[in-house]
Chains A and B, each alone.
Chain A
Amino acid sequence: MTKNKNIKEFKEISVALAGNPNSGKTSLFNGLIGRHLKVGNWAGVTIEKYEGFIEYEGYKIKIVDLPGTYSLTAYSPEEVITRNYIIEEKPDVIVNVLDGTNLERNLYLTTQLMELEVNSVIALNMYDEVKEQKIEIDFKQLEKLLGSHIIPTNSIKKEGFKSLLNHIVRVHTGILTVAKNKLSFSEEVEKNIERLTDIIKGDQTLSDKYHPRWLAIKLLENDQLTYSAAKERAIWLNIEKELLEIIPKYEDMFDSSPAMTIAEDRHSFIRGAIKETVEYPKEIKKTLTDYIDSVLINRVLGLPIFLALMWLIFQFTFKLGEAPMGWIETFFGFLEKTAADIIAPGLLQSVIVDGIIAGVGGVLVFLPSILLLFLALAFMEGTGYMARAAFVVDKILHKVGLHGKSFIPMITGFGCSVPAFMSCRTLKSKADRITTMMIIPFMSCGAKLPVYILLIGAFFPVAYAGNILFAVYLFGIIVAILSAKLLKTSLFKGESEPFVMELPPYRMPTLKAVLIQMWIKAYMYIKKAGTIVLLASVIIWAAGNFPVSREINKTYAEKTHAVQCNQMFDKVQKEKQSVKLGRFDGHNPRHDTLQSLENMRLSKQLEYSYAGRMGKFIEPVIRPIGFDWRIGISLVAGLAAKEVVVATMGTIYSLGGEADEGSSDLAAALRNDKKYDMATALSLMIFVLLYVPCLAATIVFHKEAGAWKWTGIYIAYSMIIAWVLSFAVYRISKLFLI
């Protein structure tokens, strides 16, 4: 179709990039649009949508980078997005990006785009590698066969971009025409397509929306989405009658389905076209990829190398991230102090310092780790090792119902659940993705470590400390594996993503491409910290500070005043403080300083607050697993972030909120408490390990899972598992330890 309108009417051209994964589509896109990148999400799915524009010859060319797909069936969300976008949004020009070194497979998508009869231009990408491998392509003839203009491009050196843009503009304005060749299929199929096309043409609305011939092909291919679209129309009765006649007859005649024949015909067409127009070098040399693979995924070395690389990534992410994490902590500490100095003490100071700054700081502190992790992941993905790693470990993970690609999120989970949930996006099937996400919290994250250290330090001999810590981590892994198995045999029975996966040739990704990928992910994380987490921090702060008890404040104000008076008096009298103060307060005189009074006030206030009441309220539920209301408060506060469990215990024991895992005072206080013993400690560690992770993680889970249903199941499941296993551990250890 030619658009013969005046050029001046068109100031905007919409372009969509379509192509296989690993065809260099993304780098072509990045190269074309430069700085004008906009990242969002496709509606309803966790697949990123990349948009951008470029100004060229007075046109604003808007480009959308469609998700990489091999085909246009209705099985994966990527494919559905791509075809719906082409059919519904009707972009002016489609740029079909091909990996020039792998034409045979890449052209399969091209044949399907031909069926859609759109204005398309082919970018034959990676042309530098094509020349390097001495592959000769007869462009003229290939253009003739495919009916589209073909422009050789090289995204890294930005070669062919100008020509590509020229073609886009000229195709759009109608100066260049697109032949829109029809692929013809085997005789019998072709006959059936015509019959169906004739029926479909009887429905004006349907044939306006879809190309009748395309619809006919898709119906013969048993395409579910097309079926549902056609079923809404009255004409469906005629179509169905025809299909019920055609398909069984065809299967009888050829011992094959029309769908199979259609696919075979497409492949035959491609093979013919390749034979006619492409000449490969005679001798086949071993490629670099062959050499690297013979080591990296070797049957003996494959697994050890994989484990070593994972260990490296883990170290890289969390060890290298430690120093900058410290800086961010220091920075927020400084911010808190400054804010406390500037703003007068009171509610406003408290909400800003203890609520907002502490909350957002607590999330942003993970940023260095997240940046490094995403950097490592983008690099692995970019080089092509990611697919190999999945290849190496798939058998183990498939046994428990997961996918080879689940390993990245699981390992990441040991650092922080937030990036782990986000990295589940590489899993395409919903069943695999949700199952992996559900078990990630059982991979003990970095923030839970202080809790273990405190409890092990308080209740267990030093000689066993390492073993117990290891056992806790191992316990988490076992629960994760069993949970995966359970979920895959109940909730997601039989659903699994096929492991038909390309192992792309190794390529060195450009630094820019890796950095862009890293930044996009990190930016999403920062955005979350700035919005939802900010709100959540304020809510949790409020729960810990309200309602304010006038009585407690008054009592302690009086006591504080008395101590102050006494101190003044003491100074004047030059007498020893402690004796008098001790008499005054009736407590251990050693502790009676202003600070300890303030700590006691905070402790009482916390007990009085909503969080405190919640702790007391849930006491009946947690008593069977060995906890009292004080642990209850800590667990409630731990919903904000797991490190907070330790700080809250410090507050309850009147040691001030600054208590940390190394605090020997807190450990001693716990040890001396008659109510707690080894069994309580074990039970508490298991509970903290398994119960719902922090709020930030839960929010990210919800965003990524996309439905309240999953978030509900996830919260309920982790709570129940935590309670049941803590109960078991508590009761069993009570039997043996005491």
Chain B
Amino acid sequence: MKMTELKAGDKAEIISIKACGEIGSRLIDMGLVKGTRFKLIRKAPLGDPIEIMLRGFLLSLRLSEAKNISVVKIGHVGDGKPMRGGGFKRRGR
């Protein structure tokens, strides 16, 4: 599903991002990459933009930007599912 289909309170994980250019780069820089878990906090009073929480901070983005992001829903607020972590591999020393 797309990120825009989530409701306030939903937890999800990013599967893929189909955006290039500046928007794509902005999303990646803010940590929206494959495997990132986030929670949709709320929508703005007029329904757009949306506010999500990921990696311990709050981020807002427009629906037009969020529609490039495919996600899978993993839970809802209060279900105790961890938001930090997820698969990781560490390289470098």
Contacts and interface: CB of A to CB of B under 8 A. Distances in A.
A500 B57 contact: no
Interface string B70-93: 000000000000001110111111
A367 B92 CA distance: 55
Nearest to B93: A181
Interface in B15-41: 17, 22-23, 25-31, 33-36, 41
A487 to B, nearest CB: 20
Contacts of A387: 60
Interface string A373-394: 0000000000000010001101
B10 to A, nearest CB: 16
B92 A269 contact: yes
Nearest to B46: A395
B33 to A, nearest CB: 5
A299 interface: yes
A501 interface: yes
A502 B61 contact: no
A220 to B, nearest CB: 14
A299 B42 CA distance: 8
A297 B61 CA distance: 15
B84 A280 contact: yes
A101 B49 CA distance: 25
Given A105-B56, A271-B86, A276-B90, A75 B26 contact: yes
A267 B45 contact: no
Given A271-B85, A297-B42, A297-B44, A503 B90 contact: no
A498 B90 contact: no
A391 B93 CA distance: 40
A293 B23 CA distance: 26
A501 B25 contact: no
A620 interface: no
A73 B29 contact: yes
Contacts of B44: 297, 299, 302, 391-392, 394-395
A329 interface: no
B58 interface: yes
A275 interface: yes
Contact of B26 (A108, A297, A498, A505): A498
Contacts of A271: 85-86, 88, 90
A298 B51 CA distance: 12
Interface in A294-347: 297-300, 302-303
Given A105-B31, A267-B33, A302 B88 contact: no
Nearest to B62: A499
B60 to A, nearest CB: 5
A391 B30 contact: no
B49 A260 contact: no
B28 A260 contact: yes
Contact of A499 (B34, B42, B49, B93): B49
What does DSSP make chain A's interface, helix, strand, loop or mixed? helix
A183 B41 CA distance: 33
A299 B43 contact: yes
A267 B60 CA distance: 20
Contacts of B42: 293, 297, 299
A502 B59 contact: yes
A268 interface: yes
B49 A272 contact: no
Residue from B41, B51, B92 having most chain A Cβ neighbours under 10 A:
B92
A387 B51 CA distance: 11
A289 B23 CA distance: 27
A70 interface: yes
B48 interface: yes
Nearest to A264: B33
B23 A498 contact: yes
A398 B62 contact: yes
B56 A102 contact: yes
Contact of A267 (B36, B46, B91): B36
A726 interface: no
B42 to A, nearest CB: 7
Residue from B17, B31, B51 having most chain A Cβ neighbours under 10 A:
B31
A185 interface: yes
B55 interface: yes
Nearest to B26: A500
Contacts of B88: 268, 271-272, 275
A221 to B, nearest CB: 9
Given A71-B29, A183-B92, A267-B36, A499 B61 contact: yes
B77 to A, nearest CB: 11
A267 B86 CA distance: 12
A395 B49 contact: yes
Contacts of B22: 75, 498
Given A260-B33, A391-B60, A398-B62, A104 B55 contact: yes
A329 B28 CA distance: 53
Given A145-B93, A391-B49, A502 B57 contact: yes
Contacts of A275: 85, 88, 90
Contacts of B48: 394-395, 398
A263 interface: yes
A181 to B, nearest CB: 6
A595 interface: no
Contacts of B56: 101-102, 104-105
Contacts of A272: 88-91
Contacts of B92: 145, 181-184, 269
B91 A265 contact: yes
9 contacts: A105-B31, A267-B31, A275-B85, A275-B88, A302-B44, A394-B49, A394-B62, A500-B27, A502-B58
Which 7 A-B pairs give the minimum distances between C-beta atoms?
A272-B90, A71-B29, A302-B45, A503-B58, A395-B46, A271-B88, A104-B55
Given A293-B41, A298-B45, 6 more contacts: A272-B89, A273-B90, A297-B51, A396-B46, A498-B23, A501-B60
